[in-house]
Structure 1
Amino acid sequence: MRRRSTAGLVVAITGGANGIGRETAERFARAGALVAVGDLDGPAAQAAAQALGAPAIGLALDVTDERSFTAFLDTVEQQLGPVDVLVNNAGVMWVGAFETEPERVAERQVAVNLLGAIRGVRLVAPRMVARGSGCIVTVASAASLVAPPGESTYAATKHGIHGYLKGVRRELRGRGVDVCAVMPAVVDTALAAGTSTGATPMLTTADVAAAVVRAVERPRFEVFVPGRLAALAVLLAVLPRPVRDLAERLLVPDQLKRLAAGAATRSGYEATHFGGPTP
């Protein structure tokens, strides 16, 4: 397995001002990387970068806009150098019954989680291929393989990016660019506020950030967090459907039950990320 040192690498991170993205930026900076924090909240990105110390920059980035993403990559190259690592981290999640999900909310999740990550891959990969080296890490989710009740559209976006990365990985084989999907269980962030973790303990942002850095240092296509989820994924794939259904009911979080039991409200998060109150 090829090893890569993170010292001196130029690392660009989307959704980097808070949560997993910010923790990942801090970990790369401590390892000697040159970090670019991109976030829809430009001032928050700048503040996160300043907290890292030089060399780091913070830039406004809307992953749903082609010009914004292109300008982000161009600016990173101008100020720090060619992008060695792109961490596709930006993501949003709505929780609730599928029949009550507003159309604008579903569209937003697809635009950010799926098309935003696809856009990042499509824009950065040619630059890496031209140099014969690079690594693209996408923070997907365990929901890439299962679909918790109450997260149907979110899970669809994560299934989608996992499938997309499978194809891209094959197309890039032999061209010097690694493609990695990091798939954590539920992480203690604003995105997961008020949700259930199922049979897996709540993860910290540090757990996921460490996995992202390891994926760059020792590239693997699928990185599960915690690692034992890999065995669970293999098991679920070979079980007969009735047995698999039972296993998923026991192991996979049911967010609808969580909401029905009076879970902490998500109204603040959803108002911020989906442009107003949702049912």
Structure 2
Amino acid sequence: MGKRQLDGLVIAVTGGAAGIGRQIAEQAAWAGARVAIGDRNAEAAAATASELGAGMRSYPLDVTDEASFTTFLDDVERDLGPLDVLVNNAGVMWVGPFDAESETATEAMFAVNVLGVIRGIRLAAPRMRERGGGHVVTIASAASKLAPPGEASYAASKHAVLGYLTGVREELRGSGVHISAILPGVVDTALAAGTDTGAAKLLSPDDVAAAVLRVISAPRFITTIPSYVGPLVAVSGLLPQGIRDVLLRRAVPDQVAAAAKADRSGYEKDALG
């Protein structure tokens, strides 16, 4: 498929009030798209939409609630027109030793990171298929392919997301509906505050947003940021376990150690309950 312009596309972004979602919304609006942001913090979403301007719309959205997600999609299509692109961006993360993680934190990560994505695709993709085209872009993580210590459940949630996307992509083959996954490393947002980047550089939300716009323009299934993460994982998978362990321990950060030095209590109280 050749490149397409974003001008006039209707794009909805979950978790769009701040961080990566905000930057995706802003860059998409600059490119001429009609953008809707949904966020469980409706006031923050409204403030972001007002600040970014360009006719951007905001809506309350709880991705863990079926009725909320359905209403979000209905309202976006009523106000802006048929949805061309859904960006599943909403996500949460707890960091620390596996045996210190609360049941509440574990359930929140799977409710938002996995079931929220599944819900968005299950509700949006059939509408797109009926119209003969559309695109769902999901912000996953390099943790979809790696599993840093200290992020065991988070990595499990992202592995689950990539598995789901892989299966759904095949079901939608030939329908005109594209499925894409963006797999960034550590991004400078509240979600990743206090964590270590390992051998990779710290990414900015703009880096991820730019990758999303490129993928919307020219659809592809998996995009890793930095780009070398994909080949690194592929090559490491061919190595004997002992050598693979040494390689990945040098490249992948130890988030148990990082979390011990950071105070993430404010973010985690707000995001995970």
TM-score normalized by structure 1?
0.96
Looking at structure 1, the residues matched to 63 and 204 of structure 2 have their Cα atoms a distance apart, in angstroms, of 24
Match of 1:211 in 2: 211
One-letter code aligned to 1:266: R
Displacement after TM superposition at 1:2 (Å): 2.6
Question: Does 2:122 correspond to 1:107?
Answer: no
Q: 1:51-80 deviations in whole A, cap 9, x for unaligned?
A: 222321000100000000000000000000
Which amino acid letter does the alignment assign opposite residue 222 of structure 1?
A: I
Question: CA separation in 1, counterparts of 2:43 and 2:139?
Answer: 23
Aligned equivalents of 2:142, 2:272: Cα separation in 1? 23
Q: Does 1:180 align with 2:180?
A: yes
Q: Aligned AA for 2:117?
A: A
The equivalent residue for 1:268 is: 266
Secondary structure of 2:237's match? helix
How far has the Cα of 1:151 moved from its partner?
0.5
Give the letter aligned to residue 274 of structure 1: L
Distance in 1 of aligned mates of 2:165 and 2:124: 14
CA distance in 1: counterparts of 2:160 and 2:83, whole angstroms: 25
Q: Tell me, in whole angstroms, the C-alpha distance in 1 between the residues paired with 2:236 and 2:59.
A: 41
CA distance in 1, matches of 2:259, 2:105: 18
Aligned positions of 1:238-277 closer than 5 A: 238-260=238-260, 262=261, 264-275=262-273
Number of matched pairs? 273
1:242 deviates by 1.3
* In the alignment, structure 1 residue 19 sits paired with structure 2 residue 19: yes
Runs of at least 5 residues in structure 2 that lack an aligned partner in the other structure = none
Deviation at 1:244, TM superposition (A): 1.1
Counterpart amino acid of residue 111 in structure 1: A
Instruction: Write out per-residue CA displacement over residues 235-279 of structure 1, whole angstroms, 9 at most, x where no aligned residue.
Output: 12222211111111110010112234x2x310110111122xxxx
Mapped to 2, the partners of 1:248 and 1:233 lie a distance apart of 9
What's 1:79 paired with?
A: 79
Secondary structure of 1:87's counterpart equals: strand
Distance (whole Å) between structure 2 residues aligned to residue 120 and residue 194 of structure 1: 30
Shift of the alpha carbon at 1:170? Answer: 0.4
Aligned-partner Cα distance in 2 for 1:231–1:9: 32
Deviations 1:154-201 (A, max 9, x none): 000000000000000000000000100000000000000000000001
Alignment of 1:1-279 (within 5 A): 1-260=1-260, 262=261, 264-275=262-273
Long gaps (5+) in structure 1:
none
C-alpha distance in structure 2 between counterparts of 1:241 and 1:145, whole Å? 16
Q: Per-residue deviation at 1:104?
A: 1.0
Percent identity of equivalent pairs? 57
C-alpha distance in 2 between matches for 1:165 and 1:236: 23
- Deviation of 1:229 after TM superposition, in Å, equals 1.4
Letter in 1 for 2:128: M
CA distance, structure 2, for counterparts of residue 233 and residue 31 of structure 1 = 33
Q: Where in structure 1 do 4 or more consecutive aligned residues deviate above 2 Å?
A: none
* SS of residue matched to 2:182: strand
Distance in 1, Cα, partners of 2:272 & 2:165: 26
Q: Structure 2 CA distance, aligned partners of 1:4 and 1:47?
A: 30
For 2:4 and 2:96, the matched residues in 1 are separated by 41
SS where residue 238 of structure 1 aligns?
Answer: coil
